[in-house]
Amino acid sequence: MSISLNSELKQKENQRINEYINKVLSLVEKEVVTEEEANWITKETLDGFRDHVNPGFLSYRKTVTKDGQFAAVEWSDGGACFKDINGNEYIDCLGGFGIYNVGHRHPKVVKAVTDQLKRQALHSQDLLDPLRAMLAKILADITPGDLKYAFFTNSGTESVEAALKLAKMYSDRTTFIATARAFHGKSLGSLSGTAKGMFRKPFLPLIPGFRHVPFGDIDMMRKTFETCALVGEDVAAVILEPIQGEGGIILPPPNYLKQVRELCDEFGALLIFDEVQTGMGRTGKMFAAELFDVVPDILCLAKAFGGGVMPAGAIVAKEKVFESWFPNPFMHTTTFGGNPLACAAAIATISVLLEEKLPERALEVGEYFLKGLREVAKDHKDKVLEIRGQGLMIGIEFHKDEIGYEVSKGMFDRGVLVAGTLINSKTIRIEPSLTISYEEVDTVINTFKEVLSQIEN
């Protein structure tokens, strides 16, 4: 009797869960919902984050929005904008940390993924999957220099992990040089290269062998190479971002990256460029490496690589480096990396970037954007320390963290989403879609001007 009762209760519980699931699925297909549905979705979202995801996200939202706006729930998107569950539209200048280079839901990317899904979703893992081979060929064609072989991942941190492992295996060395203010991810290996104590301290000790030097200081880089060689800890690779993203949109000094390349060659180390945030046209070139006329040994990609539709990442390496994985292709693998849906999205994304000349557009619109923002900042030197950037990768640094928080709040209240960088909280980033219109850029500039004028230092 007890077993029968328990079984009946279990069935009722399963029925309740499935009814909830079906309600959720019925809403997923709706781009516009009723007020009643919007209220239900908002309540379930807040309850879910508080009770089952992480209540810390709600606390964070309260620090970067005005009263009540912390509960804004994203629902739909398109172009350079997204809408919340209540239909309010925002110009997206955060861009999911830089994933929407071709815009939100670009039709060509969506179609490629949909077409692939109709034919086959994922692959068996044992047979040869064609899109992975074709995407690797395309990457060899568009990446700088003699980068040739690709390995596919699902995210930036996975790309960095793959690059570090490949560098270790190729060089038979275990020491890496990274830079201060760097961000390479938060898994144990990539976190070892990341340079923010708040993220690192709880997980110490991390992967041994990492040294950090100031970004842009070539003399310190040389001294570190020399010291490592002196104590028998030869450097496997230098890993850095050509333009630091989470560090506050920091551009390198003239010739710095060329000098790093020369040091790597002198000491027999590899050069890894983390282009997870700078790649795919954002800086005015397809890859930031091209801006500085430097070819790395390994290039890391992710974020915008999947077109803002699929999670996708990759490393692309020179043949002499990648050869170390030839004898055993299973030395480093991932179940979902390079899956057909992600490859379809990446191929379509590259097509859009080329067809619509989005890297060139990023350079042109970025110059216009920078000029407008700097013009506004002239009247607020007591608040704005510096505005810098390259293409549509722009950083606005304030004298105090609190000013940045107030600017973020004020702009969100007026329909523009911006956010701070993870390493340098005094800086907010401007990383919109490369498809953003001049009219939308003007709206962002005017909003920035209005908000700054209302903030007391």
3-class DSSP assignment, residue 69: helix
Contact 276, 159 (CB under 8 A): yes
3-class DSSP assignment, residue 390: strand
For 114-120, the CB contacts below 8 A with 24+ separation are 115/344, 116/340, 116/341, 116/344, 117/341, 120/340
H helix and E strand count, the chain: 17, 15
State the amino acid at position 345 in one-letter form. A
| Measured distance between the N- and C-terminal CA atoms of the chain, rounded to whole angstroms | 72
For residue 391, what pLDDT is reported? 99
What does the buried/exposed string (b/e) look like for 192-224 if buried means 16 or more CB atoms within 10 Å of the residue's CB?
Answer: bbbbbeeeeeeeeebbebbbbbebbebebbbeb
pTM beyond 0.85: yes
Chain segment 191-250, per-residue pLDDT in tens: 999 999 999 999 999 999 999 999 999 999 999 999 999 999 999 999 999 999 999 999
For residue 66, what pLDDT is reported? 81
Report the CATH fold assignment for 107-356: Aspartate Aminotransferase; domain 2 (3.40.640)
Q: Comparing C-alpha atoms, which of 253, 228, 258 is closest to residue 243?
A: 253
Enumerate the CATH 3.40.640.10 domain ranges in the chain, comma separated: 107-356
For residue 60, what pLDDT is reported? 87
**Matching residue, tokens 């557009």:** 361
| Helical H segments across 49-129, by residue range | 55-63, 95-98, 107-119
Q: To the nearest 5 percent, what fractions of the chain are helix, strand and coil?
A: 50, 15, 35
* Measured distance CA(306)–CA(312) in Å, rounded: 5
* Measured distance CA(449)–CA(439) in Å, rounded: 15
Enumerate the CATH 3.90.1150.10 domain ranges in the chain, comma separated: 358-454
**Matching residue, tokens 């879910």:** 48
For residue 413, what pLDDT is reported? 94
For residue 67, what pLDDT is reported? 76
* Measured distance CA(333)–CA(241) in Å, rounded: 24
- Residue 338 CB contacts under 8 Å (≥ 6 apart), including other chains: 129, 132, 135, 151, 152, 153, 314
Question: What is the sign of the dihedral through the CA atoms of 256, 260, 266 and 267?
Answer: positive
Give the right CATH number for 358-454 from 3.50.50.60, 3.90.1150.10, 3.40.630.30, 3.40.50.300.
Answer: 3.90.1150.10
Region at 68 (left for phi over 0; alpha for psi -120 to 50; beta for the rest): left
Q: Comparing C-alpha atoms, which of 255, 224, 206, 245 is closest to residue 98?
A: 245
For residue 313, what pLDDT is reported? 99
Average pLDDT by stretches of 10, the chain with 457 residues? 72 93 95 95 95 93 80 93 95 96 98 98 94 99 98 98 98 98 97 96 96 98 98 98 98 98 99 99 99 99 98 99 96 96 99 99 99 97 98 98 93 95 94 98 98 87
Contact 283, 391 (CB under 8 A): yes
CA 67, 68, 70, 73: dihedral to nearest 10 degrees? -150
For residue 141, what pLDDT is reported? 99
- Phi, psi of 179, deg, nearest 5: -120, 155
Q: Supply the DSSP string of 343-379, one letter for each residue.
A: HHHHHHHHHHHHHTTHHHHHHHHHHHHHHHHHHHHGG
